[in-house]
Structure 1
Amino acid sequence: MESDECEFDSTWDDEDENKTPKKKVLQRRSHRKINAAKDMQNFRHSCRNLDGDDHDKPGQGRFYNLEFYRGQIKSSPDDVHIDDFHQNWWARYDSLQDVHTYTQWLFPLQTQGVNPSAHVLTKKEIKLFLRDKQVKSKLVKSYKLMLDFYGIRLVDESTGEVARAPNWEDRFRNLNSRYSNNNLRITRILKCLGTLGLKHYQAPLVKFFLHEILVKGQLQNVKQSALDYFMFAVLDKSERRELVKFAFKHFKPRENFVWGLGLQRFVDVVDKNR
């Protein structure tokens, strides 16, 4: 795409969310890909009014993801019960790395993933999921399972605060390796948390990655995904703004930090919102 304009982000806009976003100048040298911006905008728009009454429509078929989380069916093609994932896949790092079909079951979305045997979340299904405390509790267990795989632990279930796990060095080496599919998985996890009622878990995880990458100098192979995707999966606009400002503060060299707006306009916006 050769256009100099990016209309796929409203992080700094105060206009009605339902209006068409205004176009923003995007420098040609920006490292933030247009496709990434569009993907994340589409995701955020898909999460509007998920708990509204307008989705109560009959004849929407089976709710496979809800049935899976309620323990009524197993995943496909792996044929694993949700409780088996939580009890028997913990710290099975080789399986978690090499198997590519379980993620779509543990973290379902409204879009089709790489596993054709998994099922897309429906609006009605999301609404039912949001009302079911037991399945939401199991989603937290799935989140903890994957955090451990990445060398992270959930410190506080109420706030979503995370920190390094005791095994972080070994797991960071794996996360920082050639396995770029882990970056895609993290993006999916963030999207799922936002979709299924755990959006307060999003910003703490993204802040953790930004701190490790930009302050501690870790996980450099995760850097671009964190800047292009992770930050913009966060549904809360005020939290998203704070994450962008944090990234800008710690990005080096600062003059190479370009996000959505042209760099100088971005600096002006940051100064205005201090």
Structure 2
Amino acid sequence: EFHKTWRGDYYRLERVHSFVQWYLCPDSFINKIPCPQAFLNNETAKLNLQQSYRLMLDFYGIELSNLETGAVGRASNWPERFGNMNWHTHNNLRLTRILKCLGTLGFRHYQAPLVRFFLEETLVQGKLPAVKESVLNYFLFAVLDKAQRRELVRFAFWNYEPREKFIWCPKKIQEVNFHIIRPGYMAFIFST
């Protein structure tokens, strides 16, 4: 029902907040079901999650261009939808939840391409300035594959301006160690 009636209903997708917790947030349901592995072994459930992911990508002006690799690109509706993301920053939290869900529920290979897309759109193209902080402080940390995460950090570093002010570490560490990471110094803190 969700896939049939909500796709393209951008007003509803923007205004109603609870569906993300139910359909795309592992914290809300994956820990409450008796066996999370049951989801991972259920092809229908995985296809439904993939369909929900595509629905949300459309909401953000993005399309899944390769089901196998998770490659994404701008959809035809991107100018309007990017405007919505820049205006409604609560979508950044939704995107973090989506990224975590992908990693938890068998779609780890979708994480890095989506984060790379947002790095490109924020740091290189400058089209999503309201998403930039979330990409650097949250989206990157949702990527479970350490090698992919390292590549994304390198990409962010080489495209961040001004490069000498690039700081990459979890927001919590930045806040706790603010006296160590001083403005004007590059810092690379890689978490395990």
- Corresponding residue number in structure 1 for 2:120: 211
Q: d(CA) in 1 for partners of 2:129 and 2:106? A: 30
Q: d(CA) in 2 for partners of 1:186 and 1:157? A: 19
Q: 1:128 to 1:120 in 2, by over 3 A?
A: closer
Task: Say whether 1:98 aligns with 2:15.
Answer: yes
- Corresponding residue number in structure 2 for 1:229: 138
Q: d(CA) in 2 for partners of 1:122 and 1:264? A: 41
Q: d(CA) in 1 for partners of 2:33 and 2:109? A: 20
- Residue 131 of structure 2: SS of its match in structure 1? helix
Question: In the TM superposition, what whole-angstrom CA distance separates every residue of 1:232-260 from its partner, at most 9, and x where no partner exists?
Answer: 10000000000001000000000110123
Question: In the TM superposition, what whole-angstrom CA distance separates every residue of 1:172-217 from its partner, at most 9, and x where no partner exists?
Answer: 000111x221000000000000000001000000000000111101
* Residue from 58, 70, 91 that aligns with 1:160: 70
Question: In the TM superposition, what whole-angstrom CA distance separates every residue of 1:36-68 from its partner, at most 9, and x where no partner exists?
Answer: xxxxxxxxxxxxxxxxxxxxxxxxxxxxxxxxx
- Residue 63 of structure 2: SS of its match in structure 1? strand
Task: Say whether 1:141 aligns with 2:51.
Answer: yes
In structure 1, what residue type is equivalent to 2:19? Y
Q: d(CA) in 2 for partners of 1:131 and 1:156? A: 22
Pairwise CA distance, 1:264: 5.0
Pairwise CA distance, 1:138: 0.5
Q: d(CA) in 2 for partners of 1:252 and 1:108? A: 32
Quick check: which has more Rg, 1 or 2? 1
Higher helix share: 2
TM-score (norm 1): 0.61
- Corresponding residue number in structure 2 for 1:3: none
- Corresponding residue number in structure 1 for 2:42: 132
Pairwise CA distance, 1:108: 3.0
Q: 1:265 to 1:189 in 2, by over 3 A?
A: closer
Is 2:164–2:186's contact at 8 Å kept on the other side of the alignment? no
Task: Say whether 1:266 aligns with 2:188.
Answer: yes
Q: d(CA) in 1 for partners of 2:20 and 2:82? A: 19
Q: Which protein has greater RCO, CA pairs closer than 8 Å, 6+ apart?
A: 1
Q: d(CA) in 2 for partners of 1:264 and 1:144? A: 37
Question: In the TM superposition, what whole-angstrom CA distance separates every residue of 1:126-168 from its partner, at most 9, and x where no partner exists?
Answer: 2100001111011000000000000000000000000000010
Number of aligned residue pairs: give it.
177
Is 1:210–1:226's contact at 8 Å kept on the other side of the alignment? yes
Q: Tell me, which stretches of 5 or more residues in structure 2 are unaligned?
A: 170-179
Task: Say whether 1:220 aligns with 2:104.
Answer: no
Q: d(CA) in 2 for partners of 1:141 and 1:104? A: 16
- Residue 246 of structure 1: SS of its match in structure 2? helix
Worse overlay, 252-261 or 131-140:
252-261
Q: d(CA) in 1 for partners of 2:159 and 2:121? A: 11
CA RMSD of aligned residues (A): 1.9
Question: In the TM superposition, what whole-angstrom CA distance separates every residue of 1:96-147 from its partner, at most 9, and x where no partner exists?
Answer: 000011111111323x5xxxxxx45247432100001111011000000000
* Residue from 147, 159, 181 that aligns with 2:90: 181
